[in-house]
Amino acid sequence: MTELGELGLSSYEEKVYRTLLVTGAVTAAELSDTSGVPKGRIYDVLNGLEARKLIWRQSSDPNRYVAVRPETVVDRLLAERAYDLKQEWDRYRKKAETVRSTLLPTPPTESSFWLGSLGSDEMSTALQQHMRTAENVVQAAVGPPYEDATWETLQSEVEGFFEGANADLSVDLLLSEKAVTVLPDRFPHLIENQSADITVRTIPEITLSFDIVDKVETTIDVLHPVSGKDRIGVIGIKDSQVVSEFEQYFQQLWAKAVPLLE
pLDDT tens figures, 143-198? 999 998 999 988 988 888 888 888 889 999 999 999 999 999 999 888 988 889 99
Pairwise CA distance, residues 206 & 15, whole Å: 73
Pairwise CA distance, residues 126 & 139, whole Å: 17
Pairwise CA distance, residues 181 & 204, whole Å: 12
Residue 39's pLDDT is 92
pLDDT at 110 over 60: no
Name the average pLDDT for the chain: 90
Closest CA to 218 of 137, 123, 147, 117: 137
Measured in whole angstroms, how far is the alpha carbon of residue 14 from the centre of its chain? 37
CATH number of 104-259: 3.30.870.10
Higher-pLDDT residue of 111 and 117 is: 117
Q: What is the arithmetic mean of pLDDT over 72-91? A: 92
Pair 235, 117: CB distance under 8 Å: no
- Running DSSP on this structure, what letter comes out for residue 146? G
CATH number of 1-102: 1.10.10.10
Contacts of 122 (CB under 8 A, 6+ apart): 103, 104, 105, 114, 116
pLDDT-derived band of residue 200, with 50, 70 and 90 as boundaries? very high
What confidence tens digit (pLDDT) does each residue in 3-41 have?
888 888 999 999 999 999 999 999 999 999 999 999 999
Closest CA to 170 of 221, 216, 214: 214
Domain segments of the chain as ranges: 1-102, 104-259
Q: Please give the order of strands across the beta sheet that includes 231-237.
A: 113-115, 231-237, 217-223, 210-213, 137-142, 170-176, 197-203, 258-259
One-letter amino acid at 253 equals L
Instruction: Measure the CA angle with vertex 124, ends 118 and 126; round to 5°.
Output: 115
